[in-house]
Structure 1
Amino acid sequence: MCGRYSLSKSKIELEERFQAEMLADFKPRYNIAPTQLVPVITSDSPKGFSFFYWGITPDFGHNKPVSQKLINAKAESVNEKISFKGSFQRRRCLVPADGFFEWKKLGKKTKIPYRFTLRDEDIFSFAGIWEEYETVSGESQHTFLILTTTPNEVVEEVHDRMPVIIPRDQEKKWLDKYSSESDLMKMLNPYPAELMLSYTVSPLVNSVQNDSPGIIRRTSPMDQFGNYTLFG
């Protein structure tokens, strides 16, 4: 799964990368978590960043509380499952990021947080799908989730799934409403391992309350309690 990621680049860097307009008060994010309002790019509005909540309430389960929302969908079956098929066909988005986090289990109690980035540490995009739904109070909200796939050789050392990263030269095709299902499915592969790297980070990332540059800084391996470990 993908349950935490970063977008630590500046407003100017994001606008240049995607040729899209960002909110004037945007600030870099170092520890993005589910239920938070974050930028995405949709085919409906490709020249500007939209802000959606991370966590979709499925078509068949409107008005579910946040704790029951979905944050990921398996890429292998996204075109088949009733809960995702409509969004996959008509409501796709790019989710800008510059890294994501996973935790490596060591024994029953120890977990070591890792950050995964592109080798050049540049901005990239997750494959996302979105939808609009009505809250209990009757308000309209936009939400999204991130597609995941089998891990490449870098990620599999830590976790058995990884988010789908759309190659830069295929981003427009992902957003194109006229792209065929077969072409879309061909994009949902593990990103090439040789273009990625990973490193251990501080257990500060464990708490969604923490959102500072120190979270993405390389550190010696530490468990979830902040104790140094010999395992990397």
Structure 2
Amino acid sequence: MCGRYSLSKSKAELEERFQAEMLVDFKPRFNIAPTQLVPVITSDSPRGFSFFYWGVTPDFGHNKPVAQKLINAKAESVHEKISTKGAFQRRRCIIPADGYFEWKKLGKKTRIPYRFTLREEELFSFAGIWEEYETVSGDTQHTFLILTTTPNEVAGEVHDSMPVILSREQEKKWLDKYSSETDLLASLKPYPTELMLSYSVSSLVNSVQNDSPGIIRKISPMDQFGNYTLFG
């Protein structure tokens, strides 16, 4: 599962890395959570950023715990399940990021947050799919899911899955409407272990209300209660 990520780069850095135009202001984000409106790039409009809701819109997700929201889809079955097959074939997207978070369980109660990045902490993207629907009031809304797969060795130390991280070449194939199913599925693999790193971060990340640079700073392992631990 991927339930939180960061995008702490500037608008200019995003436009340069993804060769796409962003027509609205963007402030770096350090603790992106489900139901929030964030930038994606779709196969329908690969030269521009769109802003979609992650998983569900805020109204739909109000007062529901994250576990009950559909925010991820398994890469192994995305092309087969009725709920995701159509989007896999026609509505693919990439989700810019520069890190994501998972919580390492130690015993029954202790959970330590970790951030996962590429070695140089550069921008990358997750593979995703998106949907369009009409609200009761007649407005058009867009949502996206992040695809997950089996973890590499770095991610596997903390969690039993990881988001699908795409290389630049894989991004092109994922956004290409004419890519074959074989090529698409070949991209949905664990990212190479040697190109990633992880480190423990502040328990501030536990609350979606917190969104500051301190969240992505490396610290000694700390549990969800703010207590430092020797077992991270």
Alpha-carbon shift at residue 182 of structure 1 (Å): 0.9
Q: Which runs of 5+ in 1 are unaligned?
A: 58-63
Alpha-carbon shift at residue 24 of structure 1 (Å): 4.2
Question: Mapping of 1:49-198 within 5 angstroms?
Answer: 49-56=49-56, 65-66=60-61, 67=64, 68-198=68-198
Which whole-Å deviations, capped at 9, do the CAs of 1:147-180 have from their partners, x for residues lacking one? 0000000000000000000111221111001101
- The answer for the alignment partner of 2:35 in structure 1 is 35
- Contact 2:205/2:215 (8 A) holds in 1: yes
Question: Mapping of 1:189-228 within 5 angstroms?
Answer: 189-228=189-228
- The alignment partner of 1:77 has SS state of coil
- Contact 1:56/1:130 (8 A) holds in 2: no
- Total equivalences in the alignment: 226
Which whole-Å deviations, capped at 9, do the CAs of 1:163-207 have from their partners, x for residues lacking one? 000111221111001101111000000000000000000000000
Distance in 1 separating the partners of 2:128 and 2:23: 21
RMSD value over aligned CA atoms?
Answer: 1.3
- The alignment partner of 2:76 has SS state of helix
Which residue identity is paired with 1:100? Answer: Y
**TM-score if structure 2 supplies the norm length?**
0.95
Which residue identity is paired with 2:165? Answer: I
Which residue identity is paired with 2:134? Answer: E
Alpha-carbon shift at residue 137 of structure 1 (Å): 2.2
Distance in 1 separating the partners of 2:60 and 2:44: 27
Which residue identity is paired with 1:65? Answer: F
- The alignment partner of 1:102 has SS state of strand
- The alignment partner of 1:85 has SS state of helix
State, as a whole percentage, how many aligned pairs show the same letter.
84
Alpha-carbon shift at residue 56 of structure 1 (Å): 5.0
**TM-score if structure 1 supplies the norm length?**
0.95
Q: Which runs of 5+ in 2 are unaligned?
A: none
